[in-house]
Amino acid sequence: MKDATWERLEAFAREELGRPLFGGRLNLQPSSRLEEDLGLTGLDAVGFIEKWAATFNVRAQDFPYRRYFAPEGQQLLSSFLGLFSKRVRQPALVPLTLGMLAAAMRRGQWDTAEIEATANRND
C-alpha cells in the first residue's frame, strides 16, 4: 500500500522526468535509483533535487551531490585515467533512491547518515 508521501513524490517525479524514450509510463518504485535507473546525472540531477527540496519544503542545504552523482562530462575521462592511476579514481557513488527522498520528505530534512542507514536496513 502506497502512502500519501510516496504518491506526492511519484507524481512530482513523473512530472519532472517525463515519459520514457519509447513511450509508456515510467516504472517508479521506492527502490528506483535516480542516476542508474532514471538517468538523472550532472546538472539535471542537481536541478531535480533542488526543485524537490523546494516543492516539498525539505531542508537540504548541505545535500552531498557528489556522493550520489558523478560530475557532468567527467565520468568517462575519470574512468579512463583511473585505469592508470589510483590518485585519479573517483570514489564509488552511493545509489540515491526515490525511497530515500520520500524518507527525507517525512523528516522534513536531509540527514545523510540517518537516511542511508534506514535505506540499508530496508534493502
Answer with the residue of higher pLDDT: 28 or 93. 28
Question: Per-residue pLDDT tens for 37-95?
Answer: 998 988 999 999 999 999 999 999 999 999 998 876 555 555 555 555 555 555 678 99
pLDDT value at 119 more than 70: yes
What pLDDT score was predicted for residue 114?
A: 94
| 102 CB-contact burial (10 Å; exposed 0-12 / middle 13-18 / buried 19+) | buried
Helix (H/G/I), strand (E/B), else coil: 109: strand
| CATH architecture, domain 4-122 | Orthogonal Bundle (1.10)
pTM for the structure as a whole: 0.82
Domain segments of the chain as ranges: 4-122
Please report the pLDDT score of residue 56 as a whole number. Answer: 98
